[in-house]
Amino acid sequence: MTNCRKKVLILGTMTFAEEIADVISEIPGVEVAGFVENMDKDRCKENIAGLPVFWVDEIAKFAKTHYAVCGLGTTRRSIFSDQVAKYNMPFAKLIHPSARISKKSSLGKGTILSVGVIVAANTKIGNHVMINRGATIGHHTTIDSFVTIGPNANVAGNCKIDSRVYIGISATIIDHVCIGANSTIAAGAVVIKDVPSRVMVAGVPAKIIKENVSNK
């Protein structure tokens, strides 16, 4: 019998990559084939969770048989995904069985919906977005590429989240709010008005506590 399971290489070798491997282990028809390192070649000498670690320049040979996905919690995963994209390796869209995404919403390549995530209707999620455990995304919301949404965060309806925004654990963004690119929403913050680009906000209600932030 032919093995039709989708083989995935996880970009990253830190603890969050292992968390992504655990999520993938519960997705039917998908299996983790290994991890990929791009900074410290010595990390390729040891296995992670019994699986091999490949140096990034070695994975071109897998381009026709494997998929890739970023196992990095930071918004800077664009650096790694760009390295891999040059090998024409496809990126997987991964949805945990307990997650729910409306049939009227869309999901970009390389994006992960973890355990218990809910995405409401008519919402557009870009490429390489990480939506972590129990986060909820409201209807008619747009989330650009390389956004990270932490566990139990709540993004309401009709919001616009620009690229490389980091939304911390249990943060809340009320409806009709826009978050500028490269900004950070601190854990537990409650955002009730638009947030400009490249700032960090925190508190209830959220206020700017740092400027000139870069999540690139």
Instruction: Express each pLDDT in 23-35 by its tens digit.
Output: 999 999 999 999 9
pLDDT of amino acid 30:
96
Whether 212 maps to a domain, the answer reads no
Res 216 pLDDT > 80: no
pLDDT of amino acid 3:
54
Count Cα atoms within 13 angstroms, Cβ side, for 190. 2
Res 18 pLDDT > 90: yes
Q: Mean pLDDT over residues 45-53, rounded?
A: 94
User: Do 46 and 102 lie in a common domain?
Assistant: no
Domain range for residue 107?
A: 94-207
pLDDT of amino acid 17:
96
Whether 109 maps to a domain, the answer reads yes
pLDDT of amino acid 168:
98
Encoded tokens for 99? 């997650």
Total-model pTM: 0.94
Rounded mean pLDDT of the chain? 95
- Distance in angstroms (rounded) separating the CA atoms of residues 185 and 171: 7
Range scoring the smallest mean pLDDT among 64-78, 108-122, 170-184: 64-78
Q: Mean pLDDT over residues 144-154, rounded?
A: 97
User: Do 101 and 76 lie in a common domain?
Assistant: no
Final residue before a domain boundary, out of 85, 114, 144:
85
pLDDT of amino acid 1:
33
Encoded tokens for 44? 């390729």
User: Do 81 and 106 lie in a common domain?
Assistant: no
For residue 32, the domain's CATH number is 3.40.50.20
Res 214 pLDDT > 90: no
Between residues 83 and 151, the one the model is more confident about: 151
φ, ψ for residue 127 (rounded to 5)?
-85, 145
pLDDT of amino acid 186:
98
Q: Which residues pair with 171 in a beta bridge?
A: none
* % of the chain with per-residue pLDDT over 70: 98
User: Do 103 and 124 lie in a common domain?
Assistant: yes
